[in-house]
Amino acid sequence: MAAGIPSTTSGIRPGWPGQVDRLSTLFGWISAGMIVVSVLITCQMIFVRAVLGQSTVWQTELVTYLMVAATLLGLPYVQKLRGHVNVDLIPLMLRRGPRKALAIVTLSASMLIIAVMLFYGFEFWHKAWARNWKSETIWAVRLWIPYAAVPAGLGMLLLQLAADLWATINGTDKPFNIAEEKD
Amino acid sequence: MDPLTLGALLAVITVLVLFSGVSVAVGLIIVSAGFLMVFDGLRSLQLLPEILFGKLDNFALLSIPMFIIMGASIASTRAGADLYEALDRWLTRVPGGLVISNLGACALFAAMSGSSPATCAAIGKMGIPEMRKRGYPDTVATGSIAAGGTLGILIPPSVTMIVYGIATETSIGRLFLAGVVPGLLLVTLFMAWSLYDTWRKGSADAIAGRSYSWRERFEIMPRVLPFLLIIMGVLYAMYGGLATPSETAAVGALLCMVIAIIIYKLWSPKLLWNVLRDSTRESVMILFIIGAAGVFSYMLSSLFITQSIAAWIGTLDVNPWVLMFFINIFLLVAGFFLPPVAVILMAAPILLPIVISAGFDPYWFAVILTINMEIGLITPPVGLNLYVINGIAPEISLRTILVGSMPFVGCMVVAILLLCFFPGLATWLPDLIMGQAV
């Protein structure tokens, strides 16, 4: 069942969806790398504060932004792994044809909403960049840098969803990743 | 349209959208955007990316990937099997020692990994074949592990509790403590039922067990102690006020990875990447739902739905326990279909004000909510743990696993009732260690 145990599709698909898969995997590595860096920075922060007795300025903020970026940039990779949980009760009850149609509808709806979020997300980033917004902390980060994860992550997710839609339409992917023999 | 009718319409549409098979996070954003667009105009969509970002821009969220890495690195090693073996060697003289060791191992592993499916898989891989070999009924062998695995979300550190803490702005440390006694209560109930069922079905040989020498008992200890020490260290640092949950979890994650690499020789880059990949997948999935649920609750409050439901329930003047009964039914049904994290993120912000104004303790309620979610993990149609057990013991039918799990659902209902009669079971330990909640 879908909720929780996603089946992993590690194989690379033929054609342009395959190129998108590779790019999403790269995003996945970056996301995983950011999580590891967060672990190390947090440990360094505790060391500086508890052992050296110094105050810490940038660590908490950097780690928080790294986590936001890891989440947003990780979205396409988790989509590629079919790791975003869903409730596949209705798809499981459907026969092959209607199931494929439903998969096309849900993927298209997902693409539409992510495209809307991408549009406004780009605006959100652009405003911070054009007006040179800075965070209200001592570190005063230029906010367009962390905000860039919004258009980057959502843009790549949109591309991954498009690849998945294409692969569902031409039959490379099983709709909802459900094995055919259940028909 | 008045906010209450709007709320009812929203509930129906949310269920329909989520059941269509779209991912939970994207589904929540679709519903939120749709309602905002229709009732608040197209311009309201402009804020959505900012809300998504703002919801994720929270240092407390770091504890989620950190505890997931801790759990994933422990789960990738033989630690589960070692823990199980250690308990078996030490508990052989106890009647029904094997099923007791299995449930004890589940509880301890749950404490180390914070994840229910990981607990099921880690203990079940060894535990189920061994129990069957020694003549335990299939229903007990599989049911006990499926149920024992659910402890992962109750016994601290629990990712589900962290999510509740973040969604309701309650203390994560206090939530963790609130889960301890109810967790032990559940383990005790599970053990009692397993022993009774084994005895009832006449598996006397199973109860006798085999014996181990003291040498055998001590030689396994070095393999299980490091992880137990880390967990104790993490909890000590948190309650000793040395660091926040996120910070201690980061240290715990680093130590667990180092131990997995050194003691369990997990040094091949491929194996390490598997741990990291699984942690990233799980963390991103949960964090995206958290962000999307933030968008969802923004929509709820900007259309005045949350406030109206709370006000409406206030006017009903029902007995608080009747209210709690219906809340439990609602949570139970939601838990049948949705993963715990999604239920908590969607329901907790709406339910908590109602629960508090009815005079219930928010930490006690967190435990009640979590046990409801545990039931959802071993009941169809989603019942994640049932499928995990089915995956590791394919020779046992899903029906047998389900039949075996049902009495444990009964144990959980008994635990909920006991908690209703004695709320102190959840609130005593946090009050003792951290003082009364303000």
What digits encode the pLDDT tens for the residues B303-347? 988 888 878 887 877 888 999 999 999 999 888 888 888 899 988
- State the Cα–Cα distance between residues B412 and B407, nearest whole angstrom: 9
Are A149 and A27 a contacting pair, CB within 8 Å? no
Taking the CB of residue B157, how many other CB atoms lie within 10 A of it?
A: 29
As a residue count, chain B comes to 438
pLDDT tens column, B176-195: 999 999 999 999 999 999 98
CB contact under 8 A, A116 and B291: no
Q: Amino acid letter at B173?
A: G
Give the count of alpha carbons within 13 A of B202, CB side only: 0
- Number of other CB atoms surrounding residue B216 within 10 Å: 12
A128/A119 Cα distance (integer angstroms): 15
Which of A22-36, B124-138, B406-420 is least confident? B124-138
Per-residue pLDDT at B348 exceeds 90: no
B135-157 mean pLDDT = 90
Q: How many angstroms away from the CA of B2 is the closest CA of chain A?
A: 26
Q: What is the mean pLDDT of residues A38-46?
A: 93
Of the pLDDT bands very low, low, confident and very high (cuts 50, 70, 90), residue B3 is: confident
User: Are the Cβ atoms of A32 and B276 closer than 8 angstroms?
Assistant: yes
Q: Which residues of B fall within a CB distance of 8 Å from A106?
A: 20-22
Kindly provide the residue ranges of all beta strands, DSSP E only, lying in chain A, ordered along the sequence.
Answer: none
Q: pLDDT band at residue A22, thresholds of 50, 70 and 90?
A: very high
**What is chain B's mean pLDDT, rounded?**
87
CA B246 – CA B62 distance, rounded (Å): 6
Confidence of residue B405 (pLDDT cuts 50, 70, 90): very high
B383's CB contacts (< 8 A; 6+ apart) are: A1, B376, B377, B402, B405
pLDDT computed for residue A11 by the predictor: 66
- Interchain proximity B250–A91, CB inside 8 Å: no
Residue B207 confidence class, pLDDT cut points 50, 70, 90: low
Average pLDDT estimate for A116-144: 94
pLDDT of A34 reads 97
CA-closest candidate to residue B102, choices B67, B74, B136, B153: B136
Banded model confidence at residue B438, pLDDT cuts 50, 70, 90 = low
Helices (H), B20-137: 24-40, 48-56, 63-75, 79-90, 97-113, 116-133
Rounded to whole angstroms, the Cα distance separating A5 from A3 reads 6
Peptide bond into B95 cis (omega under 30): no
Q: d(Cα B168, Cα B349) in Å, to the nearest integer?
A: 6
**DSSP 8-state symbol, A116:** H
Q: What is the pLDDT of residue A128?
A: 96
Residue B35 CA: distances (Å) to CA of A123, A163, B10, B49, B52: 22, 28, 8, 16, 17
Helices (H) and strands (E) in chain A, counts: 6, 0
Average pLDDT over residues A106-111: 97
Per-residue pLDDT band for B77 (boundaries 50, 70, 90) equals confident
Residue A15: Cβ within 10 Å count = 12
C-alpha separations of B266 from A145, B96, B300, B315, B332 in Å: 35, 34, 46, 59, 40
- Altogether, the residues listed in chain A come to a count of 183
Contact A91 B21 (CB under 8 A): yes
Closest CA to B382 of B116, B101, B88: B116
**A86 pairs with which residues across the strands?**
B23
- How large a percentage of chain B has pLDDT more than 90? 38
Q: What is the pTM of this model?
A: 0.89
Please tell me the distance in Å from B10's CA to the nearest CA on chain A: 18
pLDDT value of residue B209: 57
Pair B313, B354: CB distance under 8 Å? yes
Q: Torsions phi, psi of A103, nearest 5?
A: -60, -40
Contacts of residue B23 in chain A, CB cutoff 8 Å?
79, 84-86, 110
Contacts A91 to B, Cβ<8 Å: 20-21
- Name residues whose C-beta falls within 8 Å of residue B354's C-beta, 6 or more positions apart in sequence: B309, B310, B313, B314, B323, B327
Give the pLDDT score at A7: 40
* Separation of CA B186 from chain center: 13
Which residue, among B355, B313, B307, B332, has the nearest Cα to B416 in the 3D structure? Answer: B332
The three-state secondary structure class of B70 is helix
Of A36, A83, A109, the CB nearest to B285: A83
pLDDT band at A8 (very low <50, low <70, confident <90, very high): very low
Q: Which of B30, B288, B342 sits opposite A75 (nearest CB)?
A: B288
Round to whole Å and give the CA distance between B434 and B337: 35
- Angle, helices B63-75/B221-239, rounded to nearest 10 degrees: 170
Supply B50's token pair: 């900012």
Q: Mean of the per-residue pLDDT values for chain A?
A: 90
| B244: region left, alpha or beta (phi > 0 left; psi from -120 to 50 alpha) | beta
Q: Which residues of chain B make contact with A80, given a CB cutoff of 8 A? A: none
Report the percent of chain A where pLDDT is more than 90. 71
Contacts with B103 (C-beta within 8 Å, 6 or more apart), sequence order:
B144, B148, B187, B190, B191, B194
Query: pLDDT band for position A155 (50/70/90)?
Result: very high
Judged by CB atoms closer than 8 Å, whether chains meet at A67 and B287 is answered as: yes
**What separation in angstroms does the CA of B78 have from each of A42, B153, B208, B233?**
28, 21, 27, 21
Residue A8: other Cβ atoms inside 10 A:
14
**DSSP string over A34-57:** HHHHHHHHHHHHHIIIIIS----S
Confidence of residue A2 (pLDDT cuts 50, 70, 90): very low
Which of A30, A56, A66, A78 to mutate to probe the B interface, most B CBs <10 Å? A78
Residue spans of alpha helices (H) in B201-220: 204-208, 214-219
- Comparing A82-91, A108-117, A121-130, the range with the smallest average pLDDT is A82-91
Query: Could you tell me how many CB contacts below 8 A there are between chain A and chain B?
Result: 188
Question: What ipTM is given for this predicted complex?
Answer: 0.93
Per-residue confidence (pLDDT) for residue B414, from 0 to 100: 96
- The pLDDT-based confidence of A182 (bands split at 50, 70, 90) is very low
A86, B27: Cβ pair inside 8 Å? yes
What span, in angstroms and rounded, lies between the C-alpha atoms of A147 and A155? Answer: 13
- Is residue B418 a contact partner of residue B425, using CB atoms and an 8 Å limit? yes
Euclidean distance between CA atoms B137 and B408, whole angstroms: 15
Chain B residues in contact with A39 by the CB 8 A cut-off are 66, 69, 250, 253-254
Beta partners for residue A142, in sequence order: A134
